[in-house]
Structure 1
Amino acid sequence: MTTIVIHITQNLATAIFQSTKMKMPSFLHSFPPRSFFFCCFLLLPLLLLLMLLVAPSSSAAPNQKVTVSLYYESLCPYCADFIVNHLSSLFQTGLISIVNLRLIPWGNAGIAQDGTFICQHGGDECFLNTIEACTITIYPEVVQHFKFVGCLERLTLEGKHGQWDSCFKKTKLGSSPINDCYTSGKGKTIEQKYAMETDQLNPPHKFVPWVVVNNQALEEDYQNFVTYICKAYKGNVIPSACKSLSTTRTYDSNEKVNSFQSVCYADMARNVTLA
């Protein structure tokens, strides 16, 4: 009977070594049966721990954050309203803990053949788009740059966007790095990348704000972005902000919508050629 147990233990040890892609040391074959038996009992806990450490985690994928990308322009009043009065709820409800929020301030702008930026709401918008792009890049922590963007967009809603630099004091972010980013031309380079990304959207954006959740464009249903976030999240712990929502809604592109939409349409930029 003891011989049978020893053989079973030896076979189990061999199987464990093979499953972990390890070659069984040759010295184990030279152990006397009884010594090998006790050795295996000593080694098995260690080997099982090793298997747990090298095994791929099955819980990593379900807990990945939901990526939310907002394509917008700084002086579109509907973009400003969405950022200040709707998107900010991600932070107020704690839903930001499951969201990778990306802000892309370009919107319906374009680049002329000579490299000049052309923006739907004029030169001030081109300037402020770049300022926001610099802030997002220099202060990559979403809580930091969203406070600045939210501050600036609130001024847009109030018709006071000319006071944009007051947001440095309100958010306690340094103004020098942002100003240097703009004057050095780095901001223009960032905006060119945003222009490329916006131009490559599939489907192409028709207006702003244009919201994309995990590569799904919400189109006219963008104000229901929280529902889409909750539906896309595959984590084990459901955020409280999602528990009271129905996540069965999907956008039907054939569904009729109101002729008036709270958006800034992209028609103005259709004839502008990207450099």
Structure 2
Amino acid sequence: MKMPPSLHSFPRSFFFCCFLLLSLFLLLLLLVPPSSSSSSSGAPNDKVTVSLYYESLCPYCADFIVNHLVRLFQTDLISIVNLRLVPWGNAWIAPNASIICQHGEDECFLNTIEACTITIYPDMMQHFRFVECLERLSLEGRHRQWMNCFQMTGLGTSPIDCYTSGNGKTIDLRYAKETSELKPLHRFVPWVVVNNQALQEDYRNFVTYICRAYKGQVIPSACRSSSLSARTYDESNEKVNNSFIPVCYADEARNLTIHFGNKIKQ
């Protein structure tokens, strides 16, 4: 009976060739990029980042969220969008480290509740449902019924604990820093930024900017509409310069506070 050859019976060159082939195979695995098929379903690298800087009781922010931004979720646009909500808006930090909001203490409180909800429930659809619910109540003049939104959206009440523990203020200050570092500086809210491009007065035309910024292979049906204009911000800005723009101005918030502050001192 023939015995199987021992390892020592193979020439060294055989092992060297095997080692060389294995090394080449591993090198190819490192050099070959992952399959691009994932881009057809809105791969993370293809998604367009849309950031909304707003405040909870600005009526124009509420209108934009409830009646315009919601289109992302009503169409297939959300498949190509990374939506970021930043509830700070025109608030600022006083010398005594307290936070002052354009529409009073209720707005400061609700900004923090929304900030906590966004942080605790990072899924876009989850926290947007809550924010949309609260902003709808704001539009209807019922913002003090905000707690109903937890039940209506099926979310837990952890954001309340976030507020009472002080963690909410930490989140607020992070949003304050981000908002203060915007380039160009925001002049009003809602302030919409698409892939680092501030839409400024043309913010309601956000769908056009999203579709133009998207570089993926599969185009959402919402971007195939012939009604989408190819205008630039400069062109659209000329048309709105002399008309009413539905926004809450940052300067007006500061001036109003200074005005009433001086009256109190007198």
TM-score (norm 1): 0.78
The corresponding residue for 1:68 is 50
Q: How does 1:17-166 map to 2 (within 5 A)?
A: 30=13, 51=28, 54-57=31-34, 59=36, 63-166=45-148
- Seen in structure 2, the aligned counterparts of structure 1 residues 28 and 125 have a Cα distance that, compared at 3 Å, is farther
Structure 2 counterpart of 1:262: 246
51-60 or 134-143: which moved more? 51-60
**Offset from partner CA, 1:172-209 (integer Å, 9 cap, x none):** 1111x111100011001100111111111100111100
Structure 1 distance, partners of 2:159, 2:167, is 10
What is the correspondence of 1:109-258 to structure 2 with a 5 Å cutoff?
Answer: 109-175=91-157, 177-245=158-226, 246=228, 248-252=230-234, 255-257=238-240, 258=242
Letter matched to residue 179 of structure 1: I
Letter in 2 for 1:153: E
Partner of 1:13: none
SS of equivalent to 1:252: helix
What is the CA-CA distance between 1:28 and the residue it aligns to? 9.5
Structure 1 residue 29, shift from structure 2 partner: 8.9
Percent identical pairs in the alignment equals 73
In 2: Cα distance, 1:211 partner to 1:128 partner: 20
Per-residue CA shift, 1:229-271, capped at 9, x if unaligned? 0111100111111011446221007625233111111113457
> Counterparts of 1:28 and 1:113 in 2: how far apart (Å)?
81
* Equivalent residues, number: 236
TM-score by length of 2: 0.81
In structure 2, distance between residues paired with 1:62 and 1:96: 12
Alignment gaps of 5+ in structure 1: 1-26
Which position in structure 1 is the counterpart of 2:263? none
Write the deviation string for residues 68-116 of structure 1: whole angstroms up to 9, x where unpaired: 0000000001100000011011011021111110000010111101111
Give the AA of the match of 1:236: Q
Whether contact under 8 Å (1:73, 1:208) holds in the other structure is yes
**Rounded Cα–Cα distance in structure 2 between residues aligned with 1:63 and 1:183:** 37
Give the root-mean-square deviation of aligned CA atoms: 2.7
The answer to whether the 8 A contact 1:69-1:211 is kept is yes
1:56 partner letter: P
Distance 2:44 2:224 in 1: 17
**Contact 1:64/1:235, CA 8 A, preserved across alignment:** yes
Query: Could you tell me whether the CA contact under 8 Å between 1:62 and 1:235 is conserved in 2?
Result: no
Deviations 1:24-48 (A, max 9, x none): xxx99936xxxx8xx9xxx79x967
